[in-house]
Amino acid sequence: MEAGARGCDFARLPQNYCNTIGLDSPPNGPLDRGHRADGLCQTRRVFGVLIRIDSVTKRYPDGTVAVDNLSLEIPDRSITVFVGPSGCGKTTTLRMINRMIEPSEGRILLDGKDLAQQPVNTLRRSMGYVIQNAGLFQHRTIVDNIATVPRLLGWSKDKARERARELMERVGLDGALAKRYPYQLSGGQQQRVGVARALAADPPVLLMDEPFSAVDPVVRKGLQDELLRIQAELGKTIVFVTHDIDEAVKIGTNVAVMRTGGHLAQFAPPAELLSNPADDFVEDFLGADRGIRRLSFFSTAGLGLLTTPIVAVDSTAEQITERSAGDVPYLLVTDVEGKPLGWSEPALLTAGAVDPARLLPYGRPFEHGKESLRAALDGAVLSPTGWAVAVGADGRVTGVVSQQTIGEAIRAAHAENGADGHTDGRTDGRTDAKVAG
Amino acid sequence: MNVLHFINSFFSDSAHWHGYDGIPTRMREHIQYSLIALAIAAAIGLPVGLLTGHTGRGGNSVAFVATAGRALPSFGLLVLMFVLLGLGLTPVMIPLVVLAVPPILVTTYEAVRSVDPSPVDAARGMGMAESRILFNVELPVALPLILSGLRSAAIQIVSTATIAAYVSLGGLGRYIVDGLYQRNYEKVVGGATLVAVLALVTLGIFWTVARFAVSPGVRRSS
Ligand SMILES: Nc1ncnc2c1ncn2[C@@H]1O[C@H](COP(=O)(O)OP(=O)(O)OP(=O)(O)O)[C@@H](O)[C@H]1O
Ligand SMILES: [Mg+2]
């Protein structure tokens, strides 16, 4: 479901953005969108802006050089991830963007304007800020936590709360939690509140410092998917700090790998990072299975599917014989609706008497065209038959493919992208980047 | 003859219930001294404690003031002030304030210091002014501790305000001082009982204030 939203076209959004906020909320929540007529959306750029870090060095009073002559450009409406070992200067870099820390040398430009020239609190209010343990105000209810920045901007209490409730929906929080206090929420829920609070005043920039590192892997995956969905809908410029390379590869449009001493080791889209690490440090940091992970960036759209070796559970003997023509080793049995049940050797299939319990498992089916070659390969490896099952969005089988065919597709993809090349756009496969890992 | 008997006869004597030396008058005087002393001490201790706690600077000075304040004996200070300033309210207020500032100052400082730094960081990062961070983020969370500092200061003031009687002022200390002088132990015990009751009422007031002033989100976690 998140994957669908990611296809959202940014270019379509600007003109009607103000009206589209909350559009995907249930129609039974009659929202008075009056506050959007207050000029906030009209007078402020709600879309992300470009940030340029220009030869920035940060030297702490004790002499520690946390960031060393860093220059890079953070494109607007993208997710830029800073990743690297502990103490490499990620937090320092992030906090220089909202001037929680001032650079010792160099400057940072926001939409071409030097940050140092801008009033600091106004600047910060235009940047959402999310930190590791959410940092919620324990004396305020959830809705009042989220309403903080709108209130700072002078919105009325009612308007700010109404906006907060919209945001709760947007980040996937049950409205029933609105009147609770932070201690009554789980860590994952608190983190969602943190994200909602950062988004409340619709800032063009979102700064996130290890926002998901304190929650368990399942919740983290949910939060990551949610962030990608929100980013697709709202088009913010997100700067995200993590020490988890998998997270960086999954959510980053671009990834900045930093090394201890505050040096930038590589700045590239994740696919390029995986296919072409700049040096041994980056390669080491990426870990052992970067080849497999890279498959997340290759689409299954071009994968040739076989549609013959598939039979429904209620097939006649003739149909079974017809379908097993061409010496196929296995037939995929589906239920009457076309959903996969399992594999069987043709000889073991008796018309009208298929026992689903005796079929071989079919692994994890992949969504053809939508998921990556990594998901397809995963499916093939998981099934004892070595074949992967492709399904459509409705879960019905659209075809099957052998490991061998997937292998050919991988080689073709590599050839197409060049030995050291990279895919220009990522495929939707990145949302499943962690499934097989 | 036991204490209960003293208490009983003290309170059942109708002469103790009216006039300039009656219980209502002495009670009112006592409350008045206590409130003035507490107000002055809070006016000194709270702002200094909040500010040093928020900035994290001046912790050593706070500790020094606290130790010095505690080391000074209230009665000695009263005598000294009496010698220097003569009769009046000021020589009584000074030892009471000196007594009450340390608990208020130190707990306020500690309370603000010990607020979880991450909401403060988040607040600053979202563009909240420093004064707003102090009053809207730190203070509500620090409030239970701050109130406990005020409470112990108030209790100490209430019990120590009896010294006012030594310099010819009123208050419940009158009964104790006069009673001792007249060897009227009924009066002494009665006065002491009234002071104890007032201290308990003070406790009750602070408990009630905390119930209403502290957010449920904070109350549960402290
Ligand atoms: N206030 C400070 N004074 C002195 N040195 C500091 C200060 N803050 C950070 N440092 C040092 O600067 C370097 C970079 O710190 P930073 O917090 O940016 O690292 P990080 O990449 O975010 O690490 P982590 O992944 O552990 O959060 C570290 O060596 C750290 O010890
Ligand atoms: Mg950090």
> How do residues A84-119 score in pLDDT, each as one tens digit?
999 999 999 999 999 999 999 999 999 889 999 999
Mean pLDDT of A322-337: 86
Nearest CA to ligand 1 atom 13: A66
- Nearest ligand to the CA of A82 is 1
Distance A209 CA to ligand 2 centre (A): 7
The verdict on A370 and A430 lying in the same domain is: yes
Interface contact B126-A137, CB threshold 8 A: no
3-state secondary structure of A238: strand
pLDDT at A413: 85
ipTM over 0.90: no
What count of CB pairs under 8 Å joins A to B? 82
Q: Classify residue B141 by burial, with Cβ atoms within 10 Å: 0-12, 13-18, 19+.
A: buried
Q: State the CATH number of the domain containing residue A116.
A: 3.40.50.300
Interface contact B118-A129, CB threshold 8 A: no
Q: Please, which residues bridge with residue A56 across strands?
A: A70
A175 min Cα distance to partner chain B (Å):
18
Chain A positions touching B121 (Cβ under 8 A) are 100, 131, 135
Neighbours of A151 (CB within 10 A): 18
Q: How far apart are CA A383 and CA A381, in angstroms?
A: 6
Evaluate whether residue A299 is within a structural domain: no
The verdict on A255 and A200 lying in the same domain is: yes
Interface contact B118-A152, CB threshold 8 A: no
Mean pLDDT of A50-68: 95
% chain B with pLDDT above 70: 98
Helices (H), strands (E): how many in chain A? 17, 16
pLDDT at A16 over 80: no
Position of tokens 């890279």?
A294
The verdict on A177 and A315 lying in the same domain is: no
Q: Please, which residues bridge with residue A311 across strands?
A: A333
Evaluate whether residue A304 is within a structural domain: no
3-state secondary structure of A300: coil
A202 min Cα distance to partner chain B (Å):
12
- Nearest ligand to the CA of A131 is 2
pLDDT at A123 over 70: yes
Q: How far is CA B176 from the centre of its chain?
A: 20
Q: How far apart are CA B48 and CA A235, in angstroms?
A: 46
Query: Which of left, alpha, beta for B58 (phi over 0: left; psi -120 to 50: alpha)?
Result: left
Q: Which of A237, A256, A288 is the last residue of a domain?
A: A288
CB A84 within 8 A of CB A257: yes
The verdict on A29 and A60 lying in the same domain is: no
pLDDT at B59: 87
Q: Please, which residues bridge with residue A82 across strands?
A: A241, A256
Nearest CA to ligand 1 atom 14: A89
Q: State the CATH number of the domain containing residue B122.
A: 1.10.3720.10
A137 min Cα distance to partner chain B (Å):
6
pLDDT at A418: 60
Distance B221 CA to ligand 2 centre (A): 27
CB A100 within 8 A of CB A121: no
Backbone angles phi, psi at A125, to 5 degrees: -70, -15
Residue range A255-311, pLDDT digits in tens? 999 999 999 999 999 989 998 899 999 999 988 788 888 888 888 988 889 888 898
Per residue of chain B (222 residues), give pLDDT as tens.
588 888 888 888 888 888 888 999 999 999 999 999 999 999 999 999 999 999 998 889 988 988 888 888 888 888 888 888 888 899 999 999 999 999 999 999 999 999 999 999 999 999 999 999 999 999 999 999 999 999 999 999 999 999 999 888 889 999 999 999 999 999 999 999 999 999 999 999 999 999 999 999 997 654
The verdict on A238 and A341 lying in the same domain is: no
The verdict on A39 and A63 lying in the same domain is: no
pLDDT at A37 over 80: no
Interface contact A132-B118, CB threshold 8 A: yes
Q: Give the β-pairing of A51-59 and A105-110.
A: antiparallel
Q: How far apart are CA A38 and CA B206, in angstroms?
A: 44
Q: Please, which residues bridge with residue A53 across strands?
A: A72, A108
Query: Which residue among B126, B132, B220 places its CB closest to the CB of A125?
Result: B126
Higher pLDDT pick, A63 / A326: A63
The verdict on A74 and A199 lying in the same domain is: yes
Angle at A14 between CA A12 and CA A20, to 5 degrees: 80
Q: How far apart are CA A251 and CA A244, in angstroms?
A: 11
The verdict on A210 and A117 lying in the same domain is: yes
The verdict on A68 and A149 lying in the same domain is: yes
pLDDT at B220: 62
> Which helix (H) or strand (E) element contains residue B153?
helix B139-160
How does the average pLDDT of chain A come out, rounded? 83
pLDDT at A296: 86
The verdict on A39 and A91 lying in the same domain is: no
Side chain identity, residue B189 = V
For chain A, the domain total comes to 3
CA dist A45 to A6, A36, A41, A74, B128, Å? 22, 13, 7, 17, 21
pLDDT at B221: 53
Nearest CA to ligand 1 atom 22: A91
Higher pLDDT pick, A201 / A432: A201
Neighbours of B32 (CB within 10 A): 14
Interface contact B217-A120, CB threshold 8 A: no
pTM of the predicted protein model: 0.80
pLDDT at A15: 34
Interface contact A124-B221, CB threshold 8 A: no
pLDDT at A252: 95
Interface contact B118-A128, CB threshold 8 A: no
The verdict on A153 and A271 lying in the same domain is: yes
Chain B residue with minimum CA distance to A181: B217
Structure tokens at A196: 């909602």
> Which helix (H) or strand (E) element contains residue B53?
helix B23-55
Distance A87 CA to ligand 2 centre (A): 7
pLDDT at B13: 87
For chain B, the domain total comes to 1
Residues with CB under 6 A from ligand 1: A 60, 62, 64, 66, 86-92, 243
A98 min Cα distance to partner chain B (Å):
7
Distance A243 CA to ligand 2 centre (A): 8
The verdict on A153 and A69 lying in the same domain is: yes
Q: State the CATH number of the domain containing residue A320.
A: 3.10.580.10
% chain A with pLDDT above 70: 84
DSSP states of A326-357 = TT-S-EEEE-TTS-EEEEE-GGG--TT---GG
Chain B residue with minimum CA distance to A194: B122
Distance A27 CA to ligand 1 centre (A): 47
Domain of residue B163 covers 3-221
Domain of residue A8 covers 3-45
Nearest CA to ligand 1 atom 23: A87
pLDDT at A318: 85
Beta strands in A216-309 (DSSP E): 237-242, 254-259, 263-268
